[in-house]
A and B are shown apart, each in its own frame.
Chain A
Amino acid sequence: MDQGIKSRPRYQPFRIDPAGTQHLIVTDQPSPPPGISGAAELWTIAPHPGGQSFPTPAALLASLPGHLARQGPGFRLYAIGTEPFIWDVAYIATHAGLTEGELFLHHAGSLARRVHCIHCKTNTDRVTTNIVTCAGCGANLLVRDHFSRRLRAFMGVQVDAETPGILPPIETLYP
């Protein structure tokens, strides 16, 4: 269902930027996509030959800032995976000084969304349905395509404010 909202991120296919001189690929996917050259460093969650593996996505993300602090011109960072993961990477990378042309995001795997309740500001993770109950305030939220790069989440807006308890059909839209 296209909600016609322009903030919905669109992703380009993965490719190594030939203008870069050092490449790091980070992914939360079990197997990195084909086309990764041996010239790139690879960080994964599941052990992968030739890559550095971390027990959890959070552990991988925690190791990024220190690594980025040692990089210079020519460094390129590629994040491949679910949207919450790649936007967490983008947040860390932007704070480390990476900018347009140095950071590339590629969506892979589940479409599950991180939903930000616009009423109580709580994030609800791994949302696969069009309507979700907010983990913070319990409101029934309609998951919008409106994506905030700053909050790294899709906006959720109470759907039954005027008719409490009466909800549209619940469907799995983001498997």
Chain B
Amino acid sequence: MTQSARIHVRVAEIEPLNATLRRITLQHAEGALLPASAPGAHIQIELRGDTRSWRNAYSLVSPPGTRTAYSIIVRKVPQGRGGSLYLHERLAVGQTLTILPPVNLFPIAGLARKHLMLAAGIGVTPFLSTRAALAETPFELHLRCHAADQPAFQTLLAPWPHAHIHAGPDFNPTDLLRHQPLGTHLYLCGPTGFMQAAEAAARTLGWPAARIHQEHFGAPTGGRAFDAVLARTGRTIHVAQDQTLLEALEAADIDAPSLCRGGACGECRLPLLAGTPDHRDHFLSESEHATSIMPCVSRSHAETITIDI
């Protein structure tokens, strides 16, 4: 995504949904219309803290096509890398931010006979904008969440007559996955462990890959600091423990492409020239691991890595 695509927005409203969830509504800073978004789309928000900046992806929860405002829901993650804490503790109504326009990596399958949506926690957000797009197609939405979040999610899911909220850790989707008609499409969004378990259960039951859709949202966990050698210029940049390689590139003013920032979409893929990569994405195949790296989530096992940018 290039620099020119950035949109300046103003924080129009901040609504707490409970102790750790807040809905943030953004409007165009100059009062213009925002680009229309599709069901399931997300935006990237750029945040500048005192010592570092973040670029985080959030699903739009405003109705698709709304051009006067975008809404997102942010969970406060105290042990995260700081972006959500900034949005919970520093952000104020009236403040301006920059965002990148909506992108949809989680579209609803148009030919599906039925939609089976499984979410955990804040992973419910990409589904909230899809209700109208489901039209007459049967659907079932199941949300696993902490008991403390149940009232807030219940309110958000009021327009979903078929939503099932499972408060507590005991939700096992295997029976649901076993008893679905042909032509059902499965959508997963939530923490990595939740999605991996659900996907593994579906694959064991014989679900083909073409009917499983996943939205991976960046929870890059950080790791050891390392240096990246940028082969085209010979520059070396430092990647801190709590920073991603992509963020380090952006901090060095290198216009690196990115979309999902969660290792899923493939947009940020860079040729890998030397080093011992720590691959953490869901995109590259085994055979591509020797020659490519996804800087939004992946890191280096060794002290330096050389990439072609």
Interface residues of B (CB under 8 A from A): 111, 113, 177-184, 202-203, 205-211
Please give, as numbers and ranges, the residues of chain B lying within 8 Å of A72 by CB-CB distance: 178-182
CB of A110 within 8 A of chain B?
Answer: no
CB < 8 Å neighbour of A97 from B179, B183, B205: B183
Query: In the complex the two chains form, what is the Cα distance from A31 to B140 in whole Å?
Result: 43
Query: In the complex the two chains form, what is the Cα distance from A21 to B207 in whole Å?
Result: 10
**Beyond A99-B208, A100-B210, is A73–B184 a contact (Cβ under 8 Å)?**
yes
Map CB proximity to B onto A92-108 as digits: 1 under 8 Å, 0 otherwise.
00001111111000000
Query: In the complex the two chains form, what is the Cα distance from A152 to B45 in whole Å?
Result: 48
Majority SS of interface residues in chain B? loop
Closest CB in chain B relative to A16 CB, distance in Å: 12
Interface residues of A (CB under 8 A from B): 19-22, 68-69, 71-76, 96-102
A22-B206, A97-B113 provided; 13 other pairs, C-beta below 8 A? A19-B206, A19-B208, A69-B181, A72-B179, A72-B180, A73-B177, A75-B182, A96-B182, A98-B182, A98-B183, A99-B111, A99-B210, A102-B208
Query: In the complex the two chains form, what is the Cα distance from A72 to B202 in whole Å?
Result: 12
Query: In the complex the two chains form, what is the Cα distance from A91 to B209 in whole Å?
Result: 21
| A99 close to B211 (CB less than 8 A) | yes
| B206 close to A99 (CB less than 8 A) | no
Please give, as numbers and ranges, the residues of chain A lying within 8 Å of B178 by CB-CB distance: 72-73
Closest CB in chain B relative to A79 CB, distance in Å: 16
| B206 close to A68 (CB less than 8 A) | no
Please give, as numbers and ranges, the residues of chain A lying within 8 Å of B179 by CB-CB distance: 72
Query: In the complex the two chains form, what is the Cα distance from A69 to B180 in whole Å?
Result: 11
Closest CB in chain B relative to A101 CB, distance in Å: 3
